[in-house]
Every structure is written in C-alpha cells, then in structure tokens.
C-alpha cells in the first residue's frame, strides 16, 4: 500500500465534469459571468418573501386594506385610500427596504474585507458620525424647526446625516492609515471614534430643548415614521450606482477574503482594492443611515444570514441587500402593528432581533473553537 496521495486516480474527464458543475457560467458576448444556481434560487425566494412583506406593509395598519384594494391603488384604478397607500405606507416601506438593502450590502462588503463576521459599518464610524450630525442639527438648529422644518426637514436631516457619516468614515480611515490599511487597526480606530461620537451625541442630547431632543432620540433609534419620497430618492440613486459597482467587484472581494500575503500573491493591489471596497461600504452605509437613521444590526446580521442561505464562503452582496430589505420590512411591520397605540422605532425591533442573532453567532463560534 502506498501512503502517497491515495486520492490520485480520478479520470481527467471526471475532474472536468465536476468542475463544469461547480463552475457554471453565463456568456453574453464578451462577458462571461459565474453562475451560482443556489444563490440565484435563494435570491428569488428572498425576493418573493420581500414582495409579500411589502404587500402586508401596504395593507395592514389603522385602515386595513385587502390585497385587492392595495393592488387597485398600485395600478391606479382605485383612489379611495390614495393618501394612505401612496403618501404614507408606500414611501415608508420603500425607504425601509432601500435603507435595509444599503446597510446590509455595506455590511457584506465590510465583513468580507475585514475577514470578520462581527465587523459592520457601525464600526467604521459611519453610524455614529451620522447620529452626531443629526443630533447637533436638531438640538442646536433652532427650536421647532427654524432650520429643520418645512422642506428642509426632509432634506436637511438626511444631508447632515450623510455628511456626518462620511466625515466620520473618512476620519477613521485617515487615522488608521499607516503603510496602507490594516483591518484590525481600522476596527480599533473605528471603535474609538464611534465611542467618542456616541458620547458627544449623548452630551448634545442633554443640552437641547426637550422637544427637539425628543425628535433627535427617535432618529437615533432608527425610525421610518414620517418617511416621504424625498427620503427614498437619494438612497435609491446611491444603490443604483453602488450596488452594480459592488457586484462587478465580486472577484476582488473573493480575493480580499484571504490573508494579505495571499491577496498580494494573486496580483491584487491590496491597498487600492481594500480602500476602494471600504469606500463603497462607507458610502452605502452613509446613504442607508441618512434615509432612516441607524437601523441597528441590519448591517451585522443580514450578511451572515445571506452567507448561510447561499452556502457561500463570503457574504454575497446582492443577497445580503435583499435580506436586509426583507428584514427591515418585517421589523417595521412588527414595530407598527405589534402594540396597539404605540409605534416602535424600527431600529428597536431590528436591534432586539439582531442581538439574539448575534448571541447565537457567538455561541456557535465558541462551540467551534472548543470542538
């Protein structure tokens, strides 16, 4: 018996057949894309679930509508509840699903390039930067909406959130820059910057007028109440540009899931690739946060859920986005309808769900270490 490589012996055509099955492709002229059947099926199922959740969100509420009524409003044959469907529920559900998709996609990219399932754009300073900016605006921007009322209510707050998030992300990046970007250093700097910004936010909340800080608190918790179409437009545009970029970078993300030396050995310009992906993640997270506040744990848990659904080796970006959209829709449905007279901020619900999931992940990770 030879101890050398007992597995040698598959016939060449068997190897190629097997490879053909695991590496299917879709050819469109000069473009050849990898096709992953399981990912496609799971994505279709998630899309169906998402559509059902959107329908439920449109029909449930103080005025309950039947699916037929909702459909009649969508195709424009019924105008009885036009305001409820098109001005209240639809913007709310659309903002929710877009924000969820952006946050989850940002999380998928962050977790891949940090090679850490517990990493999220919350740790890149984005979330807390956005919160600090918004609280500063609401607390000091003049009482009862001198700066924040009227049209600027729907533009000023998201714009400030976006600027705050991007600025904090840039700060974290700059502070951790030394001979390129190191994942661990960036996470540590991110935790530090986030903590400072969080405390700054709390301090500002104690300074402002109660009515103003009350509104700020709701924003900080992540809420979809009073969302309008103006909130949906920026994040929709951001997703339309950034998601295709992220999908086109799938090979770079695949490579970045390895350790630095392997990545460099594969001929990837590590510094440039990681910075580009980080930039994508920060932009997605900042736009997602600006639309509806920091909806907790979406960016952390959804990529991990998508990873398990797809049976992949890194969180798939598009599926993560779909899961993020579905999770926020489901959470907002619960937040709106669970308690009779109280509308919970959606972030509270996702936070509770996410915390449970996080604990599950940690317990599982511990078990594997012990095994």
Partner 1 sequence: MTAPQTTGIDAVPAGGPVRLSARGLTLAYDDHVIVDGLDADITEGTITCVIGPNGCGKSTMLRALGRLMRPRAGLVELDGRDIHRTPTREVARVLGVLPQQPVAPDGLTVADLVARGRHPAQRWYRQWSGDDHEAVARALEQTGLAELADTPLSELSGGQRQRAWISMVLAQGTDLLLLDEPTTFLDLVHQVDVLDLVRELHREGGRTIVMVLHDLNLAARYADTIIAMREGRVLACGAPTDVLTPGLLREAFGLEAVVVDDPVTGGPMVVPIGRSKDD
Decide if residue 312 touches partner 1 (CB under 8 A). yes
As to burial, measured by CB atoms within 10 angstroms (0-12 exposed, 13-18 middle, 19+ buried), residue 142 is middle
Among 152, 250, 275, 337, the residue binding partner 1 under the rule CB under 8 A is 250
How many angstroms separate the CA atoms of 262 and 258, rounded? 6
How many angstroms separate the CA atoms of 326 and 344, rounded? 18
CB closer to partner 1, 216 vs 307: 307
Decide if residue 362 touches partner 1 (CB under 8 A). no
As to burial, measured by CB atoms within 10 angstroms (0-12 exposed, 13-18 middle, 19+ buried), residue 141 is buried
CB closer to partner 1, 67 vs 265: 265
Decide if residue 153 touches partner 1 (CB under 8 A). no
* Least distance CB 41 / partner 1 (angstroms): 18
3-state secondary structure of 53: helix
Among 262, 339, 356, 363, the residue binding partner 1 under the rule CB under 8 A is 262
How many angstroms separate the CA atoms of 93 and 346, rounded? 11
Among 55, 60, 86, 115, the residue binding partner 1 under the rule CB under 8 A is 115
Decide if residue 22 touches partner 1 (CB under 8 A). yes
* Least distance CB 270 / partner 1 (angstroms): 8
Decide if residue 34 touches partner 1 (CB under 8 A). yes
What angle separates helix 37-59 from helix 298-310, to the nearest 10 degrees? Answer: 130
3-state secondary structure of 302: helix
Number of residues lying near partner 1 (CB under 8 A): 47
How many angstroms separate the CA atoms of 26 and 358, rounded? 36
Decide if residue 77 touches partner 1 (CB under 8 A). no
Beta-carbon-side half-sphere exposure of residue 308 (alpha carbons within 13 Å): 8
Decide if residue 264 touches partner 1 (CB under 8 A). yes
Among 259, 356, 363, 364, the residue binding partner 1 under the rule CB under 8 A is 259
Among 82, 269, 363, 366, the residue binding partner 1 under the rule CB under 8 A is 269
How many angstroms separate the CA atoms of 257 and 191, rounded? 22
Q: Of 118-126, 199-207, 278-286, 305-313, which segment contacts partner 1 by CB under 8 A? A: 305-313
CB closer to partner 1, 51 vs 365: 365
CB closer to partner 1, 263 vs 282: 263
Decide if residue 244 touches partner 1 (CB under 8 A). no
E-strand ranges in 17-77 read 24-28, 31-35
**Is the distance from CB of 345 to CB of 116 less than 8 angstroms?**
no
Decide if residue 1 touches partner 1 (CB under 8 A). no
Give the rounded distance of the alpha carbon of 347 from its chain centre: 13
Among 64, 77, 261, 370, the residue binding partner 1 under the rule CB under 8 A is 261
Decide if residue 18 touches partner 1 (CB under 8 A). yes
* Least distance CB 164 / partner 1 (angstroms): 32
Q: Residue 308's CB: how many other CB atoms inside 10 A?
A: 11
Among 20, 38, 87, 364, the residue binding partner 1 under the rule CB under 8 A is 20
Decide if residue 364 touches partner 1 (CB under 8 A). no
How many angstroms separate the CA atoms of 335 and 344, rounded? 5
**Is the distance from CB of 350 to CB of 296 less than 8 angstroms?**
yes
- Binding interface with partner 1 (CB under 8 A): 3-5, 7-10, 12, 14-16, 18-20, 22-23, 25, 30-34, 115, 248-252, 254-255, 257-262, 264-269, 307, 311-314
């Amino acid at each position: 018996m030879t101890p050398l490589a007992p597995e040698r012996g598959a016939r060449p055509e068997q190897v190629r057949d097997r490879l053909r099955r695991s590496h299917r492709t879709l050819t469109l002229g000069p473009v050849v894309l990898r096709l992953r059947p399981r990912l496609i099926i799971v994505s279709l199922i998630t899309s169906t679930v998402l559509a059902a959740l959107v329908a439920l969100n449109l029909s449930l509420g103080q005025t309950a509508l039947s699916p037929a009524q909702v459909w009649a409003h969508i195709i424009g044959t019924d105008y009885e509840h036009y305001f409820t469907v098109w001005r209240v529920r639809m913007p709310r559900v659309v903002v929710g699903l877009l924000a969820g998709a952006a946050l989850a996609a940002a999380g998928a990219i962050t977790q891949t390039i940090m090679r850490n399932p517990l990493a999220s754009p919350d740790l890149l300073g984005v979330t807390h930067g956005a919160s600090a900016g918004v609280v500063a605006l609401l607390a000091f921007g003049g009482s009862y909406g001198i700066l924040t009322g009227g049209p600027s209510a729907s533009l000023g707050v998201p714009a400030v959130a976006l600027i705050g998030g991007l600025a904090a992300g840039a700060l974290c990046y700059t502070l951790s820059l030394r001979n390129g970007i190191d994942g661990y250093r960036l996470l540590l700097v991110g935790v530090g910057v986030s903590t400072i910004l969080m405390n700054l936010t709390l301090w500002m909340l104690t300074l402002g007028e109660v009515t103003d800080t009350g509104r700020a608190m709701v924003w900080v918790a992540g809420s979809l109440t009073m969302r309008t179409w103006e909130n949906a437009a920026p994040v929709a545009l951001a997703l339309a540009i950034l998601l295709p970029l992220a999908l086109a970078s799938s090979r770079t993300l695949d490579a970045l899931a390895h350790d630095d030396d392997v990545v460099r050995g594969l001929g990837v310009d590590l510094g440039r690739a990681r910075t580009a992906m980080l930039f994508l993640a920060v932009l997605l997270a900042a736009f997602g946060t600006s639309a509806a506040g920091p909806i907790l744990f979406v960016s952390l848990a959804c990529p991990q859920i998508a990873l398990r659904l797809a049976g992949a080796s890194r969180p798939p970006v598009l599926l993560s986005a779909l899961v993020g959209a579905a999770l926020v829709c489901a959470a907002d449905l619960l937040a709106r309808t669970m308690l009779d007279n109280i509308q919970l901020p959606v972030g509270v619900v996702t936070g509770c769900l996410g915390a449970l999931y996080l604990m599950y992940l940690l317990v599982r990770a511990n078990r594997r270490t012990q095994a």
